[in-house]
Chains A and B, each alone.
Chain A
Amino acid sequence: MASDRCSCQGGTTLVFACSGGADVGEISDRAARLLDERDVGSMYCLAGVGGRVSGIVKSTEAADRVIMIDGCPLDCGRRTLEEASIRGFTHLRVTDLGFTKGDSPPTSDTIECVAQAACAVVGSVCDSPGASGPAQATAPVCVGSQCCGG
C-alpha cells in the first residue's frame, strides 16, 4: 500500500521470497523485487508472517493472490506460509527452474528468468521498465519444470 489512495477495491497480489542466504535465495529475493517494480504484485514480508505480525498475516489471508518464491527444496517460505495457515498460494522453486544451489550466481539473466517464470505461472505479463510491450527475457522463459538456468 504505497500510495494514499483507498486500497479497498481488491485485486491484490502479494509476492513473497524466501530471501535465503544461498545464491538461489538471493535470486528469489531479487526476482520478487523485480515483480514488485513491474507491478505484477507487491513484495511483502515473509518474516512478518513467521513472526505472526497480525497486520501482515491478515493481509496475506485477504490477498486475492499470493506468490511464494522459494530458492531450494527446503521450501522454507512455503512452510512458513503453511504454518500460518495460509493456503491456496502459487509456489515456485528456483531450483526447479534449472538452477543449482551453490552454483547459480544471481545475475540479471537468472533473476529475469525467475521473474518471467512467476509471471507465466500466474498468467501475468511481465513488462520491462520502459518497454512498450511484454519483456523479452534474455534467457529462455521458463514455465513449470522447464529449465532456464541450465
Chain B
Amino acid sequence: MTTIQILGTGCPKCKKLAENAESAAKELGIEYQLVKVTDINQIMSFGIMMTPGLAVNGEVKSVGKVPSVSDIKKLLQ
C-alpha cells in the first residue's frame, strides 16, 4: 500500500495536485491511499516552506508546484 500525502491547506493548487496524484496512482494501477494533510502544524512537521507538497510514504517528493500526472507517475514508481 502506497500512502500519498497532499500537503496543503486546501487552495486550488492543492486540489489540483490531489487530482493529478489520484490519476497517476490509478493509471499505474497501484494500491494506494490518498491523505490530505491540511493542518498547518502537521504540514510544517514535514519541514516544507511552501505548499502544495506531495509526499509518498512520508518522503517529500515535490514542493511549491503541481507536477503533471506523468511526473507524479515517475515519483510513485
Do B60 and A62 touch across chains, with their CB atoms under 8 A apart? no
A10 at the interface (CB under 8 A from B): yes
B47 near A12: Cβ-Cβ < 8 Å: no
The answer for the CA separation of A4 and B8 in the assembled complex, in Å, is 10
Q: B40 in the interface, Cβ–Cβ < 8 Å?
A: yes
B46 surroundings in chain A (CB, below 8 A):
54-55
Question: Across the interface, which residues of B come within 8 angstroms of A61, CB to CB?
Answer: 63
Q: Are B8 and A45 in contact (CB under 8 A)?
A: no
Contacts of A57 in B (CB 8 A): 60
Contacts of B51 in A (CB 8 A): 1, 6-8
**A83 vs B23: C-alpha distance when bound (angstroms):** 34
The residue in chain A whose Cβ has the minimal distance to the Cβ of B40 is A4
Q: Is B1 an interface residue (CB 8 A)?
A: no
Assess whether B63 is in contact with A7, with CB atoms less than 8 Å apart.
no
Size of the B side of the interface (Cβ < 8 Å), in residues, is 24
* A interface, size bucket: 20 to 34
**Shortest Cβ gap from B62 to chain A (Å):** 6
Whether the pair A44, B8 counts as a contact (CB closer than 8 A) is no
A23 vs chain B, min Cβ distance (A): 29
Interface string of A1-39 (1 = CB under 8 A from B): 101111110101010000000000000000000000000
Q: Is A79 an interface residue (CB 8 A)?
A: no
CB pair B63–A1 under 8 Å, yes or no, is no
Q: Is the CB of B11 within 8 A of A6?
A: yes
Contact: B11 with A55, CB < 8 Å? no
> Of all chain A residues, which has the CB nearest B58?
A54
Q: How far is the CA of A53 from the CA of B61 in the complex (A)?
A: 11
Q: Is the CB of A55 within 8 A of B8?
A: no
Can you report 27 A-B residue pairs in the complex whose CB atoms are below 8 A from each other? A1-B50, A1-B51, A3-B40, A5-B9, A8-B13, A8-B14, A8-B50, A8-B52, A10-B50, A12-B50, A44-B49, A48-B47, A53-B47, A54-B46, A54-B47, A54-B60, A55-B47, A55-B55, A55-B60, A56-B48, A58-B60, A59-B50, A62-B62, A62-B64, A62-B65, A63-B50, A63-B64
Q: List B residues at the A interface (Cβ < 8 Å).
A: 8-9, 11, 13-14, 40, 43-44, 46-53, 55, 59-65
